[in-house]
Amino acid sequence: MSLVISLVLGMGIGFFLKLNKNILKINSKIQLLILIGLLFSMGMSLGINPDIIKNLKTIGITSLIFSSLTVFFSILFVFLFHKFGVKES
């Protein structure tokens, strides 16, 4: 629940307070540092888990298939939408 409250609070601040470019640059750097920390901690959690390391080949193949199908169908639907969808005037 606290995540939802944080998200709504951040949206409200962003909507009602027009922040200058310097604050937005600082905010962007803070977000990047937090994202790097999150990825690092997730990597540590995965590296500690012996089951994941043992099944890495299977997980990798499944991930490759899933991501390839996602990209393929995304391209297919964009192509079909442009061909049969909204026409430009």
pLDDT at res. 33: 97
Q: Count of domains in the chain?
A: 2
Instruction: Please tell me whether residues 63 and 86 are part of one structural domain.
Output: yes
Instruction: Please tell me whether residues 24 and 64 are part of one structural domain.
Output: no
Instruction: Please tell me whether residues 2 and 25 are part of one structural domain.
Output: yes
User: What is the spatial distance between Cα 87 and Cα 89, in angstroms, rounded to a whole number?
Assistant: 6
Instruction: Please tell me whether residues 68 and 82 are part of one structural domain.
Output: yes
For residue 13, pLDDT over 90 is answered with no
For residue 86, pLDDT over 80 is answered with no
For residue 84, pLDDT over 90 is answered with no
Task: Mean pLDDT check: name the lowest of 7-16, 22-31, 50-59, 80-89.
Answer: 80-89
Output the six-digit token pair for 36: 């790097």
Expressed as residue numbers, the domain containing 76 is 55-89
Instruction: Please tell me whether residues 72 and 45 are part of one structural domain.
Output: no
User: What is the spatial distance between Cα 41 and Cα 32, in angstroms, rounded to a whole number?
Assistant: 14
The whole-number average pLDDT for the span 1-28 is 88
